Structure 1
Amino acid sequence: MTNIRLDAATEPRVGEELPLEKLNDYLHAAIPGFGNIIKVGQFGGGYSNLTYQLQTADQTYVLRRPPFGAKDIKKGHNMAREYQILSTLHQAGYNKVPQVLLCCEDESLLGFPFYLMEKIEGVILRGKMAHKIQIPAEQMRQLSISLIDALVELHQIDIEQTGLIQLGKPEGYIRRQVEGWSQRYAAAQTDEIPQMEELSSWLIANLPAEGKPSFIHNDFKYDNAILHPESLEISAILDWEMSTVGDPMMDFGTSLSYWCEAGDGDFEKSFNVSWLPGNLTRQEVAEYYSEKSGRDTSNALYFYVFGLFKNAVIMQQIYSRYKKGYTQDERFAMLIWGVQVLAKKAIQALEEDKI
C-alpha cells in the first residue's frame, strides 16, 4: 500500500544536545519508577520548538523544548501553555492528542523549560518525502477528507463547558491577529519585501466580521498529524504551541494556505503532500469544510491570504534567529526566499480573486 517509514528520530544536531545526566536526575525524582534514559534522538522535521525522543529500557517518550533564541519572540514557545492545552483537550475527550506526563518551567534545572509526553508510533507525511509516497489516489482522497474532519471536530468542542475558553480571548481575535503578525514581521524583518507591507495594509483594511469562536490549532496540516502505520487513519495531531480560542475561519485559512496543489511551485510543495493525486483541491476543501461545519466559507480568500501572510512572518522569524546565530541549522538559510514566495503567492491570489 505504501513504502512510508515510521517517523524516526536521529542523532541530535550539534549544539542542540540535551544535558542527559541532569535530565535523568530530574525525571527520576519527578516520576516514581521512571527508567534510566539510555538513548536520545531528535526529530528533525520541524522549524520551531525542538522535539526529542527519550528511550528507556522499556518505554519511549517525547520531550519538547523551545528553540534557541526563543526569548526574542514575545509570548512564543510557551511550554507550560502547550502542556495545559494538551491536558485540557485530553480531558475534553478530543482523543487525537498525546497524553502529557509533566511540565518543568524551572529553567535553572536544565537551562530551558520543557514538557514530557507519551510517544505515539506512526507515520508523518512530510513534504520532503512526497515523491517517495505510494498511496493510491482513492486512499489519499479519504485521508485528506479525514484531516478536514479532524479540524471540524476540533472546532465543534464546547469551549465553555471544557474550560478551553480560558486559554484565549475571542473578542476582536481577527484584528489582534492581523495587527499582531504585522508587528511581529516588523520586529523580525531583515530584508525589504514590498509585498509584505502591501498584504499587511490590505488585511487591516478588509477585516471581516467575527464568527462564533472555537478552539483553534493554528497550524493544522499533514505533517502535524500522526497516522496509523497500517490503516493511515489519524492517530494524533501534534504541535499545539499556537493554538488558542478565536474565529475558526482563521484556523481554516491557515490550513488552506498550506494546502498546495499540483500547479503550485516547488517551494510550497516542499511543505505539504496535499498536491499528490487524490487530494481535495483548495476549493473542494472550502466546500467540504462548509458542509461539515455549517460555517460560511464565501470569504475564504481573506483567510487564505492571511494564512499565507502569517506563514511568511513565521519563516521571517525563524530566518531572523538564524541570521543572529541562534541556530546553525542550514535549512533556515533558505527561508528568506520562502517569505518572498508566499508574499507573491498571496498577492497573486488577490489579483486573481481565487484561493
Structure 2
Amino acid sequence: MFTDDVEILQFAAGHSNLTYLIRSGQTEVVLRRAPLGPVAAKAHDMGREFRVLCAVHPVFPLAPKPILFCEDDDVIGAPFQIMERRRGIVVDREWPDVYDSTPELVRKVSLSQIQTLAKLHEIDYETTQLGEWVHPEGYLERQVHGWITRYERAKTDEISAADEVKQKLSSHIPVSSAPTIVHNDLKLNNMLLSPDNPGEVVAVVDWEMATVGDPLTDLATTLSYWAQPGDSDAMLHFSGGLEHMRGAATRADMIETYAKFTGRDVSNIRYYQMFATFKVAVICQQIYYRWQRGQTKDERFAELGDVARGLIEYAVDLG
C-alpha cells in the first residue's frame, strides 16, 4: 500500500478521536485512534467502529470503506483503524466560498442532514452484520440510564437543573418505534458534500457511536447540533455561524421534513430533544472532567464545563 515516502497530517478539527491523513505516492487513507490520556469506559472503541463500518458500508455507501483494524498498542500507542479517504466540502461554522449563498442552496444544504438520516433509517439492519451482535430491545431505556450514569461519573460542579432533567428523562420514557441503524452523531460537519452540487452528500464520517436503536434519538441528535436565531451561547457553541443565513432551515423545518420523508410519528420529539441535549452536555462534561484533572492539555476544553451547564439548563425547558 505504501512506499518509503510517507506523509502524515493531522485533521485538527473535532474534540474526540484523533484523525490523521496518511499519504504515500498516490495512496491516501485515514487513520483514527482514541484521544490521548484516560478516556471514558467503552468510549473511542476503534474495533467497534471498524465492525460498524464493515457492516454498514456495503448497504450505505456514504460510509467510508474500512481497510484495517489494529489492536496492538505497541504500534502507535493505542488501537487504531484505517479507512479509505473521501474528499468533499465540510460545512461547519462558515459558508464555504465554493458555494453560492442563495436561500435555496442554504436550505438545501441544511436539509441534506435530514435526507441522509431518512436514507440511513430506511435500511433493514437485519440484512447486515449488525443483526448478529446488536440488541435493540430496550435501547432507549438503556441509553437514558447509561448517559445519566456517565454524567454522575464525570460530574465536577453542582448543576441544579441536572436533577430535574434526570428525573424527567427516567420517568417519561416513550415507547420506541421500530429500530433502525442510528449514526448517533450525524451533523453537518460529519458529512462531506459535493463541491459541484451543494446539498449532495458524498460521505458520512465518525461512526464510533453508531448502532441499532430508536431512530428518533438520531433525529434529535441532529437537531441538538443545529443552531437557529435566538439560541443560547451554549447551543451555539458547536453549531453557531449559519443560523442567520437566509434560507437556513429551523429545527421545526427539519422535524417536519423528517416526518414527511419517513412517515414516522414525531409527536414525542421534545422528549428526544431533551435527551439529545443532555447527551451532548454529558459529552462536554466528560471532556471538561479530563481537562480539569490534567488528563488533556487542550485549552479549548476549559470552557466546556460552562457549555455543559448551559445545555442542561436548556434541556430542562424541553421537558
TM-score interval (norm. to shorter): over 0.9
Alignment of 1:37-56 (within 5 A): 37-56=5-24
Given candidates 282, 290, 314, the residue that maps to 2:259 is 290
Root-mean-square deviation (CA), in Å? 1.7
SS for the counterpart of 1:82 is: helix
Of the three residues 226, 229, 238, the one matched with 2:195 is: 229
Kindly tell me: are residues 264 and 164 of structure 1, through their superposed partners in 2, closer, same or farther at Cα, counting changes over 3 Å? Answer: same
- Correspondence 1:122 to 2:88: yes
Contact 1:37 1:54 in 2 (8 A): no
The worse-fitting range, judged by mean Cα deviation, of 132-141 and 56-65 is 132-141
Q: Residue 62 of structure 1 aligns to which amino acid in structure 2?
A: V
Question: What residue is the counterpart of 1:99 in the other structure?
Answer: 65
Q: Does 1:86 align with 2:53?
A: yes
Tell me which of 300, 312, 315 is aligned to 1:331.
300
2:28 to 60, 67, 74: 60
Paired residues of 1:167 and 1:245 also in contact (CA < 8 A): no
SS of aligned partner of 1:81: helix
Percent identity of paired positions between Structure 1 and Structure 2: 40
| 2:166 equivalent to 1:194 | no
Distance 1:84 1:131 in 2: 33
Q: Is 2:216 the counterpart of 1:249?
A: yes
Instruction: Give the Å deviation of 1:35.
Output: 2.2
TM-aligned CA deviation for residue 320 of structure 1: 1.1
Q: Does 1:340 align with 2:309?
A: yes
Q: Contact 1:216–1:251 at 8 Å: present in 2 too?
A: yes
* Matching residue's letter, 2:236: K
Contact 2:221 2:276 (C-alpha < 8 Å) held by counterparts:
yes
Q: What's the offset of the Cα at 1:229?
A: 2.1
Shift of 1:111: 1.4
**Shift in Å, 1:159:** 0.8
> Which runs of 5 or more structure 2 residues have no equivalent in the other structure?
none
Would you say 1:109 and 2:78 are equivalent positions? no
Query: What TM-score results when the alignment is normalised by the length of structure 2?
Result: 0.94
Structure 1 spans left out of the alignment, 5+ residues: 1-32, 351-355
TM-score (norm 1): 0.84
Q: How many residues align?
A: 315
The yes-or-no answer on 1:138 pairing with 2:107 is no
For residues 155-202 of structure 1, give each alpha carbon's deviation from its aligned partner in whole angstroms, at most 9, with x where no partner exists: 111111123223421111111101000000000111111112211111
Show CA shifts across 1:93-115 (max 9, x none): x1111112111011122210001
Q: Following superposition of structure 1 onto structure 2, how do residues 310-321 of structure 1 map, counting pairs within 5 Å? A: 310-321=279-290
Does the CA-based 8 Å contact 2:2-2:25 persist in structure 1? no
Q: Measured at CA, do residues 279 and 168 of structure 1 come closer, stay the same or move farther in structure 2, by a change above 3 Å?
A: farther
Letter paired with 2:293 = K
Q: Structure 1: which 4+ aligned runs deviate by more than 4 Å?
A: 130-134
Q: Closer, same or farther in 2 for the Cα pair 1:203/1:282, shift >3 Å?
A: same
What whole-Å deviation, never above 9, does each CA across 1:253-303 have from its counterpart, x for those lacking one?
Answer: 111111211221344234225523312211111111111111100111000
Name the SS of the counterpart of 2:57 in structure 1.
helix
| Paired amino acid for 2:270 | L
Partner Cα distance (1:304, 1:57) in 2: 46
> Relative to structure 2, which stretch is displaced further, 183-192 or 318-327?
318-327
Matched ranges for 1:213-228 at <5 A: 213-228=179-194
* Residue pair 1:167, 1:244 contacting (<8 A) in 2 also: no
In the alignment, is the contact (CA less than 8 A) between 2:23 and 2:29 conserved in 1? yes
State the one-letter code of the partner of 2:66.
V
User: Distance in 1 between the 2:79 and 2:5 partners?
Assistant: 19
Q: Deviations over 1:312-351 (max 9, x none)?
A: 000001111111222211111110010011111112233x
**Counterpart residue type for residue 243 of structure 1:** A
The CA deviation at 1:37 is 5.0
Change over 3 Å in CA distance of 1:49–1:140 after alignment to 2: same
Task: Kindly indicate whether the alpha-carbon contact (under 8 Å) linking 1:144 and 1:274 is maintained by their aligned counterparts in 2.
Answer: no
